[in-house]
Structures are given as C-alpha cells and as structure tokens.
Structure 1
Amino acid sequence: MTDQVTFGQVLKRFRQNNGISSRRLSQLVGKADAYVSQIERNLIKHPDAHTAYELLEAVGCHKEQIEKILTDLKIADEKIFIDQKVFKEKIDPFYKVYNGIISMENGKPHTYFYDMEVIRMYEEIHNIISTFIIKDHSKAKVVVKNIHSLVTKDKEHFEFYCAIHQNDYSKLPNQFKEQILHEVNEIYKVGVNK
C-alpha cells in the first residue's frame, strides 16, 4: 500500500463490495450512525486499532488480511494481535467481562488487538490491588466488590464504569477531588434512598 491510501478508502472499498451501508456498518461495531462515513471522508483519520479491526472484520476481511492492512497503514504500529486463547491467558481477570459483554456478538469471538503498554498497566494495577487487599482487607473488600458489581453485571453498568474513568483525576488539585467525592456521595445517598 502506498502512503497516499487511507484507512477510510480501504474500508469504503470493502464495504461497498460487500453491499453494507456506512450507517449499518457503524451500528455493527457499536458506533454512532455517522462514524463510518466520517472515517471514509477522512474526518476521523486515526480510528483505534480495535475498532479498525472490527470494521474490517464486519465487511468480510479475514484475520491475515486485516492484520496486513492495519500494519501497512500503521494503525498497528507497536501493537500486537492476540487471539482469544492468548488474551485469556494474559489478561484472565478481564476475560469474562470482555468475552461476555463486549466481544461476543451472535456467538462469534473476536480477535483482540492490544499494545504492550496496556498490558503492562493492567499488570501494575493488578499488583497494586493485590497489595491493597493484603494491607487493608476491609477497605479493599468494599472497593473490589463495588468495581466487580459495575464491570460484571451488564453492558450498561460496564459502560458507566468506563465513562467514569474517561478522565485522569490524578491531574486535579485536591480541592476538586474532595468536591467530586462530596457530590458523588450526595448523589449516591439520594439515588439509593429513592
């Protein structure tokens, strides 16, 4: 592939060859109706690798073809493809959540596409939480139980958990962190007592 070819051009060719509308393809990967159209018009120049993989898979590309396209277009730079088995072995605690809520559509497993930085961060979080459980079991039990109830209940709860963590709260000054905690606690009290 030449440097002039965009992911949007490649996607459009496969999509049209398979008779799938851009709106329908957007829906198949859980995106807004205009998402694919925006990619094809180069308004979204750099879709994330996982979504790019899902889009190509939905238009009928096979695994090897997808990997080549994403690598050639540098969407796959410094990333690795991990099939279900390797994903389960590498990131087992999250496997059931992703497998049950995100990845299985119509009984069809997806190939995962992760960079090593994400895996390294996951392992670091895992180690911190393990230490937290050992050092302060009572507090850890409440925190882990609440995280568990959000990420394992259903897709809506999982999406809420993800939405909460879209912001990097470590960048906020302490006064804003305290304000957020106060507001959340007040909203929680009202919501639970309804």
Structure 2
Amino acid sequence: MLRQLLVIFLLIASGSIFAADEEKHHAIHQELRNLLQGIETAINTEKYGDLKQYFSEKLRVTTINQQLISTPDGIDAYFKDWFGKGGYLIKLDIKLNPDSLTQLYGDPANPSWGLVYGGGIENYQLTDGRYLPMKTRWTATVVKEADGKWRILALHIGTNFYDNPIFAAVKDSTKYYAAGGMGVGLLLGALLMFFWKRKKR
C-alpha cells in the first residue's frame, strides 16, 4: 500500500513539474504553436510566399524528396517548381503534429533555441487526378532571433520507404510485370514446343 501511494505521489509530482514548465514558458510554446499553424495554413491555402516569415535567413531545410533549401526565397521557388505551371502536382494539404512540447535550451529563464519533432500527413494531388497520402516524420530546430521572434533554423522531413503510396504503386507494378513476364515465358515455351514437334514430323 505504501509503495502504491509513493508511485501515485511521484506521478502527481512529475505531472506538476511538467505543467509548471509549460506554464513557465507558455508564451514561447504558444508562439511556436502559432508558427506551426501558420505553416500549415500557408501551404493548404497555396500562399507559399507567406512561408519564409517562419524561417531563419540561415535556414537549412531538407524536403520530403531530400532536396535542400538554404535561402528563404528558395522555399517559394520549391513550391512553384512542383505546383506551378507545368509542375507535377496540383495541390498539397498538410497536417503536422508534434510528439510533445518543444525542448527548450539555453538560459533556463530565457531559452534561445529548441528542438521539436513529430509526424505528419502530406496529401498530394497529382496532375493526373490521383491522390497520394504520405505519412512523414519531421525534426526541427527553432531559434529565437535578434527581433525576439522564434523561427525555424533547420527542418528535415522524411517518409517511411516501405510504407508510402509510391512504394506500394511500384510494388504493384512489379507484380504486374512479373505476372506478365511469366505469361510471356509460358507462351514462348508453348510456341517452341509446337515448332519442335512440327520439326520432328
């Protein structure tokens, strides 16, 4: 009984510490939530030019296709390349979910940078009408800059190589061609047998 009470006390105490830490830096965490929401809104409403306000001038972003963006203007150029005239995609709807609160570092009373990670869903609409829902994982480093605002310094986005619609499509097409190849092989075998029997006659 005493052990159970001790466990309950420790759980309550740890929860209180977590809540106090969140409350202590509530304004920072709220700004970071707004930053994430701003990114989602800009992408989902196709206002790609609005994105650079959320990133540092010294940004390093690795996109889902492993392309590196190293300038604020490169963000808008990236989206125009994919979604502009002659691009491969029509639209992207994105939802980003952090796994937990941003881990803040630097002066405990006045943090200067943080680390946050989580998952997401990126729903791509292709020019041929297909939809590709991509599950992603992402990690971001955020910094408090000279003007007092928090921005993303580094961002890396990746997807599970074995669990995404592109891999599934390739796997299905491989099965299709493998089945087709087997059929062609059987047909060629039958034709060779036919001509061999005719030759023996």
Query: Is TM more than 0.5 here?
Result: no
The structure with the largest alpha-carbon Rg is 2
Larger % of strand: which?
Answer: 2
Bigger relative contact order (CA 8 A; separation at least 6): 2
Larger % of helix: which?
Answer: 1
TM-score computed with the length of structure 2 as normaliser: 0.28
